[in-house]
Chain A
Amino acid sequence: MLRRGWFLPIAAVLGFAFLYAPIVSLVLFSFNENRLVTVWTGFSLKWYGELFRDPQMINAAILSLQIAAIAATIALVLGTLAAVALVRFRRFRGRTLFSGMVSAPLVMPDVITGLSLLLLFVAMESMLGWPQGRGILTIVIAHATFCTAYVCVVVQSRLSDFDRSLEEAAMDLGASPVRTFFDITLPIIAPALVSGWLLGFTLSLDDLVIASFVSGPGSSTLPMVIFSKVRLGVSPDVNALATIIIGIVAIGVLIATIIQLRARPKKARA
């Protein structure tokens, strides 16, 4: 057996402390009574109350949740189709271009994605008359595009490590490819679909840069409102909002992880 040094555990503990200390302090100070975010004067929920009385924040949150739900759903369909094509169709014309287009949005700097889509929408509007102006529709399209890439990666890894003989058996028994997909493949990759959708949803909810480019007047998403507030300095109601979002995300990730772990116990233990 290999010697276990002290270096790795200590490095890991320090690393995790670095990742979590700012988040923990943010959450703690959201319950602080004082307006000066850093001086602790007493426990209070007043910033949460203030948050829910701020119509700008509430409207932006509702808008962002709607956009995220629609964009994640579109991305789920497109990303799954793309993953099936990449994993199941060994060879087809334009495969390199296709796989490049699927994975490039993952790393494309946000400012380029945002600017390029805005310029596309402007060009399309002047040539085709669609989309008229910019707003929810254009943000949904932009978010669905980069979320597709993420969904595809998640579904791809699930598709490539499950037993293909199940699909082959179904086909041998006379099921059409479509039937095989819905009866065999879909239930097996369902956990990946859930986590892909959740990933798309949170990424859409988080995006500031791309949405800033493609949004129009009256369609300010939550990150846009937060950014304009934060730019002016620290405000405790943003702490409260951040705490709520982090709580929701933590629960979501926890559920997604449990689903994923339950779904592949046979393989993981090997």
Chain B
Amino acid sequence: MTNTHEPTYPPPRRLRPWNAVEKRLARVGITGRMLVLAAPLLWLLVFFLIPLFVVFGISLATKQFGRPPFSPLLTSEEGTVQLTLHLNNYIRLFTDNLYVAAYLSSIRIAFIATIITLLIGYPMAYAIARAPGPWRNILLMLVILPFFTSLLLRVYALTGFMRGNGVINQFLGLFGIEPLVMMQTDFAVYVGLVYTYLPFMILPLYTNLVKLDASLLEASADLGARPVRTFLSITLPLSLPGIVAGSMLVFIPAIGEFVIPSLLGGPETLMIGRVLWDEFFSATNWPRAAAVAVAMLVVVVVPIMLLQRAQGAVVEK
């Protein structure tokens, strides 16, 4: 007996084994939710959170020759387990001027670079948010494109631009202007940071500004406020979450930046990412590098929390 005239629905057999598996797991108290969560949770615990504790642990060791090149924290001898914690790395951080100076100058450089990036990025984000529809996506793509291009290669492109016989100086030379020394200076580091992190500033600002209700601006203008006044009392306060999110996205990675100061900065450009790198690769003092990293984490924890709150606010509105 065949019923060819009736539409035949294939039985939902494909994922039936799943149901059986699910039922069996549910009996031992494991739900589908837990399975979805388990893989990313375990991965991030093992490869993100635990490593931070390992860094803290090793920062309390001291350098010694061998493999690995640091003293063990726990030693057992004749049935007694001994925990040896060395605080000398942290003491050095506070007493050695190199580290103190490096932290202060990293914070200063990252802060100034963030302000400059904000001043350049805000008008750009606003211009993109106010651009007519089709233009908006094209401009946004132009912002995202450099973000996808290698940081290393973009910094390299800058060196070709700012070198003694680079593009800028050749251009100035056309007008008979003496070549400027730009490479290996703090100036070059600022240019590098602003150049690299500009997209990080523009994207959250854009997300924030594009949702700005234009009728508020019109109302303000109708009530006789001039554009500057309208900007200061309406646009600026409403875009505060975007400003905070963008600024933190620039400030936090800029603090620990390594590539930019080492390719663009001079020997006197002190940044903590570079100090950590040298401590690890040149001096092979792993515990000291770990202590530098812990101190850097302490510096960026507050900005990271600010960022989390601001991002929530940007997404909600």
Contacts and interface: CB of A to CB of B under 8 A. Distances in A.
Interface of A: 1-5, 7-9, 11-12, 15-16, 18-23, 25-26, 29, 36-39, 77-79, 81-82, 84-85, 89, 92, 94, 98, 100-105, 107-112, 115-117, 119-120, 122-123, 126, 141-142, 144-145, 148, 152, 175-179, 182, 199, 202, 205-206, 208-209, 212-213, 223, 226-227, 230-231, 234, 238-239, 242, 245-246, 249-250, 252-254, 257, 261
B47 A145 contact: yes
Contact of A226 (B12, B41, B152, B286): B152
Contacts of A109: 252-253, 255-257, 273, 296, 300
A122 B290 CA distance: 13
A148 B44 contact: yes
SS class, residues of chain A in contact with chain B:
helix
17 contacts: A8-B123, A16-B124, A26-B160, A107-B304, A109-B296, A110-B253, A120-B54, A148-B40, A178-B32, A206-B149, A208-B259, A212-B281, A230-B159, A239-B160, A246-B153, A249-B148, A253-B148
Contacts of A9: 127
Nearest to A9: B127
Interface stretch (B79-87, B93-101, B136-144, B236-244): B136-144
A249 B40 contact: no
Given A1-B218, A109-B296, A257-B137, 18 more contacts: A12-B128, A12-B139, A22-B158, A22-B160, A22-B195, A23-B149, A25-B160, A107-B304, A111-B276, A111-B277, A152-B40, A175-B12, A178-B32, A179-B12, A179-B18, A238-B153, A250-B145, A253-B144
Interface in B2-33: 12, 14-15, 18-19, 22, 32-33
Contacts of A122: 68
A152 B214 CA distance: 32
Contacts of A19: 142-143, 146, 195, 198-199
B52 interface: yes
Nearest to B191: A18
